[in-house]
Structure 1
Amino acid sequence: MENETYKHTQMGWTTSIAVFVPLLICLGAIFTVPDEVAEVRNVLIAVAVILAIVLLLFFTLTVRVNATHIQVAFGPGLIRRTITRADIESIEAVRNKWWYGFGIRYVPSGGWMFNTSGLDAVQLVFKNGKRFRIGTDDPEGLVTALRN
């Protein structure tokens, strides 16, 4: 994204720990499973690979803002959303309920949310009435960047 006026990357500690601990358990189990039950080892390897991919994809959430767009991207950027600022009607810092969770979620208050850690977010309401929440540990900074 060119001419960024705001860029912030949040480490997803909650998400990372929730995935890393089972990954370590799987890796430890892979090396302790007896050769007689190789099928179990294969399942553990598959689970470990899936957990490693999830960890890689969701360990951070980066928000970039320029004059015309907002880009929200998890991890290395394979999963991202680009929003045209002209489509936004209102911007508000909000606090998510703990049960809204992390990752990519449809939230009960309406709309989608990208969140990697914490309960703070910025809610965007679009001119078409749809909503989108961006989880962030810098809600004030993001709101300020979006209102300028």
Structure 2
Amino acid sequence: MLVLFAWMYITASAEPVSVDSGPNLLVTATMALIVFILASFASLQVSIDGKYLRIKFGYGIFQKKFSLNDILSAKTVKNHWWYGWGIRGWLWPKMRIYNVSGFDAVEIQLKNGKTYRIGTDEPKKLEEAILHAIK
């Protein structure tokens, strides 16, 4: 994405000077917004406090919390490559996935029947922490 933006600026500066030459603020603002949104999915933080399991992408624009009282079970799973990365919703099997890289995840079942998968580099540690917190 950054290579595309750099290419656009280089080719724009190579054009001859005209009335419309110079930086286009709308294009620059759009590029900055896209980079800002993409950067928010660069990392995923998972934390457990006294009441909630919290997940937060990047600097916190996209976040979700689960009440520990609502979590029925947690287990380590492997995501298929086609499940993708980011925030994904699937109809079959019906679940929502929060992932930034890799295929390891922890699947949590809520008491209301909803299923979520949280991607992590240390699935066993996260599974144990969730199971310990919901006891």
Instruction: Give the TM-score of the pair, scaled to structure 1.
Output: 0.75
Choose the corresponding residue for 2:5, options 9, 15, 26: 26
Choose the corresponding residue for 1:117, options 87, 98, 101: 101
Q: Aligned partners of 2:73 and 2:5: how far apart in 1?
A: 45
Letter in 2 for 1:112: R
- The Cα offsets for residues 15-57 of structure 1, whole Å up to 9 and x where unpaired, read as xxxxxxx12321232132225675x966753552233112321
Given that 2:56 and 2:63 are in contact with CA atoms closer than 8 Å, whether structure 1 keeps it comes out as yes
The alignment of Structure 1 onto Structure 2 pairs a total of residues equal to 127
Q: Aligned partners of 2:115 and 2:95: how far apart in 1?
A: 5
Structure 1 position 61, deviation (Å): 0.3
Structure 1 position 77, deviation (Å): 1.1
Q: Aligned partners of 2:29 and 2:80: how far apart in 1?
A: 33
Q: Aligned partners of 2:10 and 2:26: how far apart in 1?
A: 13
Structure 1 position 111, deviation (Å): 1.4
Report sequence identity in percent: 32
Instruction: Give the TM-score of the pair, scaled to structure 2.
Output: 0.82
Q: Aligned partners of 1:28 and 1:47: how far apart in 2?
A: 15
Q: Report the aligned-residue RMSD.
A: 2.2
Change in CA separation of 1:144 and 1:138 when aligned onto 2, cut-off 3 Å = same
**2:50 paired residue number:** 67
Select the structure with the greater relative contact order (CA < 8 A; seq sep ≥ 6): 1
Letter in 1 for 2:109: V
What residue ranges of structure 2 are gaps of 5+ in the alignment?
A: none
SS in 2 for 1:105: strand
Structure 1 position 127, deviation (Å): 0.8
Given that 1:88 and 1:127 are in contact with CA atoms closer than 8 Å, whether structure 2 keeps it comes out as yes
Q: Would you say 1:142 and 2:116 are equivalent positions?
A: no
Choose the corresponding residue for 1:106, options 63, 66, 89: 89
Letter in 2 for 1:24: V
Letter in 2 for 1:45: T
